[in-house]
Amino acid sequence: MNRFAGLRQRAARVYRSAALVSLAGAMLFGAQAAHSQEVPARAAEELPAELLQLRRDFIDSPLNMLAYQHIDSIFYTAPVKAGSGPSRQAWSLPREETPLSFTYEFAGQTYTPEQFLSRNKTNALLVIKSGKIVYENYLNFSTPETKFLSMSMAKSITSILIGAAVEDGLIKSLDEQLTAYVPELAGTGYEGVTIRDTLRMRTGIAREEDYSVDPDNPSEWWKWREATIIRNERRVAEQALLMKRANEPGSKFEYSTLDTVVLGWVLERALGGKSISEYMSERIWQPLGAEADGSWVLDGPMGVGREHNGMGFNAALRDYGRLGLMMLNNGRANGRQILPEAWVRESTVSPPGELTAPGAPTGYQYQWWTLADRSAYMALGYDGQFIFIDPDTETVIVKMGYYPDEPGPYNEEAFAFFKAASAWSN
């Protein structure tokens, strides 16, 4: 989890370096572009310069406090429909609201939940105990109707979709190679990698999410971000076509958003023409009884762009809570079995003793973070987005955040709060 240390400072310099835009555009890909798929391009000049700059800056503090609540106004998005008409019925969540009457310990100090909200830069917080909402709070002009950006919680949602596709027979086996669905990956570092390797981020790919800034030599990560998410000139998944191998598949955990993007490409191919947004609506969102539409960030306009399933899902706070409850209830939600119980267990329980690094407090299974000292697990997104699930105490906590640019132990303090809230008996 220390991968976030120092990230904010470096990221802020990247996103504020507007002078690099023209340089990056001139340097993008070069001869490597021949490997990219031919797709209709969206010329950057068709988008206002102000919007392009807002896209670069949206994760900067203090803009991120509000930007994370308004992603549909900043990027192209595709809806994940909750359904309509008389047949639509949201999964009713009973309420038994009560003050959070506990404290938590962090860095030798004792704090209250009210202090946590400000200390950990919180936009919204939901606590569910034994299937009942016991606490729900919205801050910074957010409301129950606000759609919050998931950031990398989207990776765990992608895992849910892969599990559904396996059950539906669209994906035959996790031990199939990626090239069975995306033959374009043959000859790249992803050749020989299985779906299971990719779910566990053990692909062996030589790729670092490099946020460093050098005006004379922008990082490859920065150039790809500019071309894909900011200017929508290339698809995010195309970067996979350029990857080389550093380790044997299955041998070493290396966190990589690109691995999740490749899983989305596999899922898209398995769906045979149906979009990820459409499949999620029909297979998960409507059966779940979501009360509001969700959305996926696209890396281009509708009809061209693909869902950025590595970071780009948006939903209301309670609907994230419903996803957490579905996982807590072994795949069951709204009176129906949506995911197989065996898939939920396999997705969220790491092999005994297997951690992301020796001595680390976390493991990583199928796009879910696991904890070394308990059976709880998490969907975790950049800047303090969490779905925390503890089967032992029947607790689900959803926290939407907006961390400042300067680095700090924000995630570690969030873990301390979650553990205290989980142990608390209301």
| 228-277 confidence digits (pLDDT tens) | 999 999 999 999 999 999 999 999 999 999 999 999 999 999 999 999 99
237 DSSP assignment: G
Question: What are the residue ranges of helices labelled H in 233-300?
Answer: 257-270, 276-280, 286-288
Residues 127-145 have a mean pLDDT of 98
Write down the pLDDT at residue 342. Answer: 97
| Chain centroid offset of residue 310 CA | 5
Let me know if 43 is exposed, middle or buried by CB neighbors in 10 A (0-12, 13-18, 19+): exposed
Residue 209 pLDDT class (50, 70, 90 cuts)? low
Least confident of 63-67, 304-308, 348-352: 348-352
- Mean of pLDDT over the chain: 89
* Residue 348: other Cβ atoms inside 10 A: 23
Write down the pLDDT at residue 20. Answer: 33
Q: In which order are the strands placed within the sheet that holds 369-371? A: 132-138, 122-129, 395-401, 385-390, 377-381, 369-371, 362-364
Model confidence at 116: pLDDT above 50: yes
What is the C-alpha to C-alpha distance for residues 141 and 175, in angstroms, rounded to an integer? 46
Higher pLDDT, 165 or 22: 165
* Residue 343: other Cβ atoms inside 10 A: 19
Model confidence at 75: pLDDT above 90: yes
Those residues whose C-beta lies under 8 Å from the C-beta of residue 299, and which sit 6 or more positions away, are 76, 228, 229, 232, 234, 235, 236, 305, 306, 308
Write down the pLDDT at residue 194. Answer: 98
* Residue 255: other Cβ atoms inside 10 A: 16
Those residues whose C-beta lies under 8 Å from the C-beta of residue 365, and which sit 6 or more positions away, are 199, 200, 346, 347, 348, 349, 350, 377
Model confidence at 78: pLDDT above 50: yes
Tokens read off for 176:
């199939």
Helix or strand holding residue 133 (H, E) = strand 132-138
Cross-strand bridge partners of residue 369: 364, 378
Least confident of 53-67, 86-100, 180-194, 410-424: 86-100
* Residue 325: other Cβ atoms inside 10 A: 22
Tokens read off for 389:
């699930």
| pLDDT tens digits, 360-382 | 999 999 999 999 989 999 999 99
Query: What share of the chain in percent tops pLDDT 90?
Result: 80
Write down the pLDDT at residue 219. Answer: 78
| Chain centroid offset of residue 206 CA | 21
Least confident of 17-26, 151-160, 234-243, 325-334: 17-26
Q: What is the β-pairing status of strands 395-401 and 385-390?
A: antiparallel
Phi, psi of 337 (to 5 degrees): -90, 110
Longest CA–CA separation in the chain, Å:
61
What is the C-alpha to C-alpha distance for residues 315 and 80, in angstroms, rounded to an integer? 9
Write down the pLDDT at residue 223. Answer: 85
| pLDDT tens digits, 284-299 | 999 999 999 999 999 9
Q: Dump the DSSP string for 276-293.
A: HHHHHIIIIIHHHT-SS-
- Cβ–Cβ < 8 Å for 241, 185: yes
Q: Dump the DSSP string for 54-106.
A: HHHHTTSTTHHHHHTT-GGGTS-EEEE----STT-------B--------EEE
Residue 37 pLDDT class (50, 70, 90 cuts)? very low
Query: CA triplet 364, 366, 367: central angle to 5 degrees?
Result: 70
- Percent helix / strand / coil, the chain, rounded to 5: 35, 15, 45
Residue 215 pLDDT class (50, 70, 90 cuts)? low
Question: What are the residue ranges of helices labelled H in 271-409?
Answer: 276-280, 286-288, 317-328, 341-348
Write down the pLDDT at residue 146. Answer: 98
179 DSSP assignment: G
